[in-house]
Amino acid sequence: MNRKKSLILDANILIRAVLGTRVPFLLEKMSPSVLFFTPQICIDDAYKYLPPILKKHAIDEETSIASLNTIIRNLNVLDEEIYAIYESAAAKRMRKRDIDDWHIVACSLMLNCPIWTEDADFFGSGVAVWTTDRVELYLED
């Protein structure tokens, strides 16, 4: 019996899933064999940062937000109360980087799974990190 792998998605991956073509393709391709998780704060960030990007590039906001809603429905969303026990350990790992990203590291520690991100702040944090151009290798392991 094959056990599904897991990945934590950062907010920048959620935004790329709306704006690009590669991330949505990979999400669909990997969904049969990977469980996707994200902390609620990443969803909040995606809703916060996506509209200004859409406006700047004259992209239809209604369609894009609807796309984000669809993507989110296919994720396992983690509330802070679930992973808060890992806050201290995660914050220590991120204190010289972006301390606000402790949530994502805490989820990774809790689930013992890698993070999918384009944010270089996670490199060297002691958890596995995959970028979009390399994440398919995760399936090959």
Write out pLDDT tens, residues 20-73: 999 999 999 999 999 999 999 999 999 999 999 999 999 999 999 999 999 999
At the topology level, CATH places domain 5-136 in: Rossmann fold (3.40.50)
pLDDT at 1 over 60: no
Please, what sign has the CA dihedral across residues 51, 75, 115, 16? negative
